[in-house]
Structure 1
């Protein structure tokens, strides 16, 4: 069989699978079916078309067949010559729109009506129904994309979302088949994608959008985003106008305008499986499941899912697996592919033809108050760094990985392990306890000094077994019940319900996860991430820390975290050196041992874990790292710039900066006005976050922790250089009170009242006679009593004391 005959056989199979009836020229009956492909159709000038395509008896296109391995650009030119030589007796010669060139392995398609019409690769031939629909459309999709999209109105869109949508639409207008949008985690990628999908469906008549997510729980989150989206021009919800389905079966409803699913389920559908039996696979992120040597999945044509099923594919978090293991699944469809990511690799950009239409990094998102920045706090322990040794003669337990059954034995020789083997081959119980205890010890002294409630905290564990050990230890160390700390992995009971509770309710305060919350999952109240596992993938690490960057409305934060005021930053507690390690674009499988293989490639002899309950761990050192300096600098610079820009605008700053036109003393209302202005965009500062930054930059100059609103006075005076050190305003007041009392002759009862007056001024900045009718004065005799003690000198005493303490 000559190569071209072999190609013809493959092309025949492809056409029949797509629903075309193949006929010989001599026996042609072009009206026998909706779609008929006539072989060796005779044209003028003694030419023959390899295949002429008919829809309802009308010639609409041609196929030029070539031997396997032939490049097809010239073949398409040949197909175009056929157009000029159609027989005179063929009707509809002026509407002969479609050209294919194919080797049976590689196929290209062109619609001459497209603006600047150019051919594109397709997986196989379109169905007769698809070409009939395209033939009867007055304009092609690419024409509609170029001409029908009205100018985008900004409305409630963030600047970054507005720019991303505009740039994407420019790319689509130019008919670029693939486009990549890089936007920082928490900046609203999904909302931008929903906004764009709405415009494309409504104005460009996009038939159906496929929205691919990284895992099933993110599909539910995306579905909720579509349900919540209010259309800007109509005012109704997206789902009231267009059907949106998060696929839970292997059936695509023709009525759907948007289908949301994982690529694992999509592959199952293309294989023709009646349902996706390995639904648990939808729970694992492809960030963790992709390795360097992953073989791309083989895809064959499924007539129930034609290549024109979707006009647009949106890939949320387009990690390496998209252009590795799963790329053939995407390339099956004749659709535009839009990638959304916060962490693109070089290979990602290549897959999207280097068409990065918009880039919005975390650093810019922090500047724009779209994200919050972070500090890094390091905990080093002896066993974490160096491993341990269990001496011969000790009884140890070996824990079976699957069943967690314990088998006790006496060691007949010393057993040593490295830090890299922790929680894989060895579990040092005191190492976990020591890290958790160190975290608890600094939680309210160094990490969140103005808090009394444990902030929402997420601990990353190495695997489900490690997570189980951490949960038990956290509950013990904090002395709290089960609700306080929960494991959220795919083995948990109702993990999605646990995520909802973690996001919206008081408890759990601490969640321990392996990878279920590591990418995409939106938990805005998170203020602390604890890494007790290493991460080798740079992209995966960025995704993990992205769990903490999201901003949250202060009222929503207080609803779940008590006295918290505003989320201005989050803290990474690094217990394994993850922020210091060198990372690559690869990622090991979940639960894969971090130790290198044996030289001969054989696995270790004993795959059970040895539980070391003999070794005692100790903290080597703790503290904020130099990686925190960027956030420190940003906050302090923003605060000083705020003072410079508002010295002539805000009364509090006029007084504190000794503005010559401003007289009098500060009032509580002045400070509240200052606080409100600080919290407003673009700075979004609080006195807690500013104090925290100064503690990080100049720990020897900061005495004590922030306590109350009046500490803003101390912050401004320190920032403008009036004070050489930073201390709570109450401490300053107490020192000035002692100076004011010096040399005065007073009774013990008078001193008690003066101290109550001092404390009131430290909080409210002044005192009025009406204040004596309230706590704590009322309990000791209210205004009548204070007047009895100080007589007619009371007014002068109050005025003099206020000026001394506040000025």
Structure 2
């Protein structure tokens, strides 16, 4: 250390640069000892040029390729100013050589390094973490044109199979690349196909820009698996092979990055561990970093993530990094991980915030909002149905003298106790301080009732049973989820398969349960806390039931996004037989989640299944385990916030005068590497420098940690443990099985009524605007007496135009809007979409004064006509004639009109066709067909 202190700033910078070069694979030589054959890459100090000595000249395979201009560390802010100077050296003639200008130019202080590739179309310097490897530069030279030059020659996009928003995103992103913008953000609504868009541009970068390797970065293992599936199924327009048949895709499950992989999929957590040379805690990949205890521990050290140069993962490992779910704050804590690589960064998100825009230099290449995606028919809209209960809103009172269960919040262990004082609990105490089974039961019971009567009526299967739409319930905690599942199974009179928990804490494989929920009939209802709140496709979902509030607005938007996915009717009916089409989804809000303000908070817990009594006992008995210490620290932090001043004072009697904050700090410090090293350094400094071997230093650290562990654990004793456990019992959950809840509100939100009004208004306006252009509408509006002439093709034309121009006005959705406004269900919705459309047109143009199913209208008109015929001429028609007339009526129900020639086709041909009808009705045949067309369409 003393030698460095005595060096001048220039020499310190040179020493750092030398070290960086060596780590990057360069041999550093002085100009007096040049040996260009010593290795692939050689950096020669003070090499003479015709404009003076260059600080470093870089040689690859004995040929000069670049220069490094070295500056003192305090000149880091001036590196852009010296670019002209370094450029002069790059363009100079080297002594003894008749060289061309050198393309690769660096300016560095050893702390800050900038790089310019003068082969680029408009060479622009950029900050890099370190120097590129000689092998990389050799590859670059072999390819000829630089990556940024190759980007200029990417051909026009073949838009076949791409949605308009995807086309805009890819085109604008490639335009950004051509402008050499280092960062770009694609904002695309959940369900609009972000990963498919990414696969499209990744394929084009590999094929047309000859990118070496691209990283697809996620923050949960689940998202990584989904991305891998997307690449496996992606097939480009210009090749009949799948993506994975053309390029190697590797999802990282260890620190090994295959040399022949062209797409790497990794979590940010794994990438960090690779750069640090650490083993990854597998649980770190299960939850996103904002919600993850492993990451929370890293954050608790309150310093930026330290990243050092890793030779096996050089800065040029990836040409492009795609950051999925880029709205999350991974780039705050993990910014150095992303800055490490010399790569273009592309963010994908549905819900960016100010930090996201800032990180990506406000270069938003594409914005496609949820509202736009709904208008385009890419996603479905939603309605909000509110359920409120008395206790959900107001809480309740548990009176002294009542016998109630008390349950450990984490282990679920119960004990029976008579209350010695009143407990008044509020709505925010539910499922935290108090669990009221009646409150949960009344919400579930009302949900079941509302489903059948209001939310999705007419879902009766062939056995006469109601078919529950696929429902996802968001619970507050794992314990809350268990309570909900138990009550759902009871209230719906169903077994275990009907309702399942989907979290990372279940004994069943969560992926297996999730796949069954997505693709199979059972489960009908899934309950989760976090696992499928973001980034997971479950297209058949039709209801999101919120039984927890959500603190983050972005997180809430992501949770809502689980329901937005479109699905074709055939796929929907594979899992929900009675559903016709997915025109919308419903948020059932049982906690006011759609109205509340949002903030973020999530505690650390590593041993959630261990009672605190056992944690205390283990520490007392000398068990030294990091997870154990951190979990106990976490519970004591929470306890410190709950107990009273009197209880805190009493605690000091058992702890040797230490308060909970001090005890907690000692538990955490015992495994804090900084504290361990600081304590060890005090002992190391007592030893002569020449005796400070690596083994001795490690031994000092080991002893320092043992002392910290002893200091933390010796505080705990039987008396203190007993007191902590008893104090803590006051903060268990009370199971209030006495207060019975009642539903106080169960209705569509006013916003849903407003939305329904808007939909009906839009539909009516659309029909009005097109009534002269579309033949069927012209007849309905202008020539109602000609309704008998409306054909199946005419109605289909209306439907196709509507789907193309106004996908949001799907007939099923418009029908539901009319029902919402009327407040009553009215007649049952027809099964056929075209019949629904005719029913709506008749209502909108005033033929029907209220919404009526057109197939039922035809049935009623037929019955009335037959009655009149029989009344005028007693039993005018024989049974055989009646059968024929009913066949004609059924044909009109499905085709809206009948012609004489239709009698030659199914089902009439099997009964004898036109000839048979003439035989039955004689000369009256034409008149009867004409009359039925007119009467049935009335």
Aligned twin of 1:501: 516
Alignment of 1:143-292 (within 5 A): 143-146=149-152, 148-273=153-278, 275-276=279-280, 278-289=281-292
Is the aligned partner of 1:697 residue 2:825?
no
Contact residue 787 and residue 934 of structure 2 kept, 8 A:
no
- Mean Cα deviation higher: 685-694 or 640-649: 640-649
Distance 1:143 1:675 in 2: 48
Task: Write 1 or 2 for the structure with the bigger share of helix.
Answer: 2
SS at match of 2:385: strand
Of 293, 300, 313 in structure 2, the residue corresponding to residue 305 of structure 1 is 313
Aligned twin of 1:113: 119
Aligned twin of 2:337: 329
Contact residue 287 and residue 540 of structure 1 kept, 8 A:
no
> How big is the shift at 1:35?
1.9
- Mean Cα deviation higher: 152-161 or 423-432: 423-432
SS at match of 2:807: coil
Aligned twin of 1:454: 468
Contact residue 780 and residue 845 of structure 2 kept, 8 A:
no
> How big is the shift at 1:517?
1.0
1:357-380 Cα distance to aligned partner (Å, 9 max, x none) = 111111111111111111111111
Distance 2:882 2:402 in 1: 62
Aligned twin of 2:750: 626
> How big is the shift at 1:125?
1.4
Unmatched segments (≥5 aa) in structure 2: 461-466, 606-633, 646-659, 665-726, 908-915
1:515-552 Cα distance to aligned partner (Å, 9 max, x none) = 11111111111111111111121111111111111111
Aligned twin of 1:527: 542
Is the aligned partner of 1:541 residue 2:556?
yes
Of 721, 725, 729 in structure 1, the residue corresponding to residue 850 of structure 2 is 725
- TM-score, reference length from structure 2: 0.76
CA distance 1:752–1:462, change in 2 (3 Å): farther
CA distance 1:767–1:472, change in 2 (3 Å): farther
Distance 1:144 1:487 in 2: 50
Alignment of 1:586-625 (within 5 A): 586=600, 588=602, 605-606=728-729, 607-625=731-749
Of 478, 486, 492 in structure 2, the residue corresponding to residue 478 of structure 1 is 492
> How big is the shift at 1:297?
2.1
Aligned twin of 2:37: 31
CA distance 1:476–1:43, change in 2 (3 Å): same
CA distance 1:87–1:431, change in 2 (3 Å): same
Is the aligned partner of 1:419 residue 2:427?
yes
Contact residue 703 and residue 728 of structure 1 kept, 8 A:
no
- Mean Cα deviation higher: 391-400 or 184-193: 391-400
CA distance 1:96–1:712, change in 2 (3 Å): closer
> How big is the shift at 1:626?
2.9
> How big is the shift at 1:137?
3.1
Aligned twin of 2:631: none
SS at match of 1:197: helix
Aligned twin of 2:780: 656
Distance 1:794 1:142 in 2: 78
- Mean Cα deviation higher: 110-119 or 59-68: 59-68
CA distance 1:7–1:424, change in 2 (3 Å): farther
Contact residue 295 and residue 324 of structure 1 kept, 8 A:
no
> How big is the shift at 1:245?
1.3
SS at match of 2:172: helix
- TM-score, reference length from structure 1: 0.88
CA distance 1:805–1:82, change in 2 (3 Å): closer
Aligned twin of 2:47: 41
Alignment of 1:73-112 (within 5 A): 73-90=80-97, 93-112=99-118
SS at match of 2:598: coil
Distance 1:750 1:424 in 2: 75
Contact residue 205 and residue 211 of structure 2 kept, 8 A:
yes
Contact residue 543 and residue 563 of structure 2 kept, 8 A:
yes
Aligned twin of 2:624: none
Is the aligned partner of 1:384 residue 2:392?
yes
Q: If you compute each CA radius of gyration, which structure gives the higher value, 1 or 2?
A: 2
SS at match of 1:210: strand
Contact residue 394 and residue 411 of structure 1 kept, 8 A:
yes
> How big is the shift at 1:732?
5.8
SS at match of 2:20: helix
Contact residue 375 and residue 808 of structure 2 kept, 8 A:
no
CA distance 1:751–1:389, change in 2 (3 Å): farther
CA distance 1:798–1:616, change in 2 (3 Å): farther
Aligned twin of 1:6: 12
> How big is the shift at 1:744?
8.6
Distance 1:228 1:618 in 2: 50
Aligned twin of 1:400: 408
> How big is the shift at 1:755?
12
Distance 1:796 1:31 in 2: 104
Contact residue 285 and residue 515 of structure 1 kept, 8 A:
no
CA distance 1:633–1:222, change in 2 (3 Å): farther
CA distance 1:669–1:306, change in 2 (3 Å): closer
Distance 2:137 2:871 in 1: 102
Distance 1:3 1:184 in 2: 52
Distance 2:882 2:603 in 1: 64
Unmatched segments (≥5 aa) in structure 1: 776-783
SS at match of 2:81: helix
SS at match of 2:28: strand
> How big is the shift at 1:795?
11
> How big is the shift at 1:262?
0.8
CA distance 1:38–1:609, change in 2 (3 Å): farther
Aligned twin of 2:598: 583
CA distance 1:638–1:752, change in 2 (3 Å): farther
Distance 1:264 1:86 in 2: 47
Contact residue 246 and residue 259 of structure 1 kept, 8 A:
yes
Is the aligned partner of 1:435 residue 2:443?
yes
Of 365, 369, 383 in structure 1, the residue corresponding to residue 373 of structure 2 is 365
Distance 1:153 1:690 in 2: 35
Contact residue 18 and residue 306 of structure 1 kept, 8 A:
yes
Distance 2:133 2:783 in 1: 78
- Mean Cα deviation higher: 396-405 or 521-530: 396-405
SS at match of 1:503: helix
1:407-429 Cα distance to aligned partner (Å, 9 max, x none) = 22221111122222222232211
> How big is the shift at 1:801?
8.1
> How big is the shift at 1:312?
0.5
> How big is the shift at 1:713?
4.2
Distance 2:784 2:820 in 1: 34
RMSD: 3.8
Contact residue 665 and residue 806 of structure 1 kept, 8 A:
no
